């Protein structure tokens, strides 16, 4: 069966348009309108063919570098709060991506944390490419996005740091920026990814919660309460009086998570793409860090593309 899958996958991939792989892979491949790393693409195709969502699943969806790691920790801590507290949570010794696996990276297993009794997993798959069963099951999706200027800068640094530690020369900033503007980045075009989930969230507000990194940074407690309610794990008044949401926010804060030993020195194995140092998922965690990296001209160009792409959608980033 695996052989058959590999054969059909090779056929699919051979027909796809290719673009610059940012030094991470030879190429990115354009599949159903989005640019994917070949190993992630394998997972996307496998998920489309095999993934069986359950109505009780909760799937955390995101465009890369929008706050996936943070959303995973907040959601996991919220769901598991009756089993663990901030001195026993698995978040203390596991990096959030180990606790909440990626659907397309763990395609061979499709385990959804059922061993912990928690049907929680994540994906970067664009909305139109989600496996049919995700839509049909009616399970809950939570999406997070971010100002594309900060996401681009975050992605640029993430790749540069990981490639440098593998002794591979990373792309220059200008070249990476050009590719990002053209939409030729991981799971890009960025704007199309965001718009897919945005439109779906307007159509199905009970099934898709649409979050923005910046708003969550502004008042995380409010959004954690909203998140808890949406996924059917609302905080009781007693929990609220006892400051449980605040404790979860503190546990999952950038300061706390980035200073844990596991996140300072551990590595995370992304299937097929090699190991990534956990600390590269925790860089600065700031809103507006693009100012330290992009020229005003570059920022204006990205803002212009964002305005154009989102115009008429009711969404601003
Ligand atoms: P920066 O590179 O701007 O610092 P993703 O998790 O989707 O890969 O996104 C990574 C970005 O989220 C990085 O942004 C990272 O620092 C930030 N981040 C990671 N953990 C965070 C946390 N607990 N709170 C806020 N931001 C966090």
The domain spans of the chain are 2-310
Asked whether residue 191 carries a pLDDT value surpassing 70, the answer given is yes
Predicted pLDDT at 250: 98
CA-proximal residue: ligand 1, atom 20 (nearest): 70
Predicted pLDDT at 271: 47
Q: From CA 252, how far away is CA 258, in angstroms rounded?
A: 9
Query: CATH top-level class for 2-310?
Result: alpha beta
Residue 264 in contact with residue 278, Cβ under 8 Å? yes
Residue of 40, 61, 63, 70 with the most ligand 1 atoms within 8 Å of its CB, for mutation:
70
- The model's pLDDT over 110-129, given as tens digits with 9 standing for 90+, comes to 555 555 568 899 999 999 99
Pocket around ligand 1 at a 6 A CB cut-off = 62, 64-70, 150, 154, 157, 252-254, 257, 281-285, 289
Structure-token pair, residue 205: 């507000």
Q: Which residues contact 317 (CB under 8 A, 6 or more apart)?
A: 145, 146, 147, 148, 194, 212, 306, 310
Predicted pLDDT at 105: 82
Three-class SS state of 53: coil
Residue 67 in contact with residue 3, Cβ under 8 Å? no
- The model's pLDDT over 126-183, given as tens digits with 9 standing for 90+, comes to 999 999 999 999 999 999 999 999 999 999 999 999 888 888 888 999 999 999 999 9
- The model's pLDDT over 197-222, given as tens digits with 9 standing for 90+, comes to 999 999 999 999 999 999 999 999 99
Beta-sheet strands, E only, within 182-283: 208-212, 267-270, 274-277
Cα 65 to averaged position of ligand 1 atoms, centre (Å): 7
Overall residue count recorded for the chain in this entry:
317
Predicted pLDDT at 108: 52
Q: Left (φ > 0), alpha (ψ -120 to 50) or beta: where does 102 sit?
A: beta
Predicted pLDDT at 303: 98
Ligand 1 atom closest to residue 64's alpha carbon, by position in its atom list = 7
- The model's pLDDT over 25-77, given as tens digits with 9 standing for 90+, comes to 999 999 999 999 998 999 999 999 988 899 999 999 999 999 999 999 999 99
Cα 254 to averaged position of ligand 1 atoms, centre (Å): 8
| Preceding amide of 288 cis, omega within 30 | no
Residue 98 in contact with residue 121, Cβ under 8 Å? no
pLDDT, average across residues 253-258: 98
Predicted pLDDT at 109: 54
Asked whether residue 95 carries a pLDDT value surpassing 80, the answer given is yes
Ligand 1 atom closest to residue 158's alpha carbon, by position in its atom list = 2
Cα 258 to averaged position of ligand 1 atoms, centre (Å): 10
pLDDT, average across residues 82-111: 86
Q: Catalytic residue, from 124, 157, 193, 204: name it.
A: 124
> How many percent of the chain have pLDDT more than 90?
83
Q: From CA 232, how far away is CA 46, in angstroms rounded?
A: 29
To the query of whether residue 124 is one of the catalytic residues in this protein, the response is yes
Q: What is the ipTM of this complex?
A: 1.00
- The model's pLDDT over 8-30, given as tens digits with 9 standing for 90+, comes to 999 999 999 999 999 999 999 99
Cα 2 to averaged position of ligand 1 atoms, centre (Å): 35
């Amino acid at each position: 069966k695996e052989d058959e899958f590999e054969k059909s996958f090779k056929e699919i991939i051979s027909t796809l348009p290719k673009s610059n792989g940012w030094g991470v892979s030879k190429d990115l491949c354009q599949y159903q309108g989005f640019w994917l790393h070949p190993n992630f693409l394998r997972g996307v195709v496998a998920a489309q063919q095999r993934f069986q969502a359950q109505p009780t699943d909760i799937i955390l969806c995101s465009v890369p570098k929008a706050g996936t790691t943070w959303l995973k920790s907040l959601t996991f801590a919220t769901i598991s709060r009756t089993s663990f507290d901030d001195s026993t949570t698995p978040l203390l010794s596991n990096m959030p991506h180990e606790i909440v696996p990626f659907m397309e990276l763990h395609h061979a297993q499709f385990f959804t944390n059922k061993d912990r009794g928690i049907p929680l997993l994540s994906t970067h798959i664009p909305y139109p490419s989600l496996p049919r069963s995700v839509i049909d099951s009616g399970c809950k999706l939570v999406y997070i996005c971010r100002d594309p200027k900060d996401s681009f800068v975050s992605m640029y640094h993430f790749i540069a740091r990981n490639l440098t530690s593998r002794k591979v020369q990373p792309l220059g900033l200008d070249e990476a920026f050009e590719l990002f503007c053209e939409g030729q980045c991981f799971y890009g075009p960025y704007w199309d990814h965001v718009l897919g989930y945005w439109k779906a969230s307007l159509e199905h507000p009970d099934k898709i919660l649409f979050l923005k990194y910046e708003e969550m940074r502004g008042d995380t407690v409010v959004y954690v309460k909203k998140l808890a309610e949406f996924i059917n794990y609302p905080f009781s008044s007693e929990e609220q009086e006892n400051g449980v949401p605040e404790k979860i926010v503190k546990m999952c804060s950038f300061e706390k998570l980035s200073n844990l030993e596991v996140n300072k020195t551990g590595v995370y194995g992304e299937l097929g793409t090699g190991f990534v140092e956990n600390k590269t998922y925790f860089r600065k965690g700031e809103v507006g860090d693009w100012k330290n990296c992009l020229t005003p001209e570059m920022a204006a160009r990205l803002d212009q593309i964002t305005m154009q792409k989102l115009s008429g959608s009711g969404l601003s980033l």
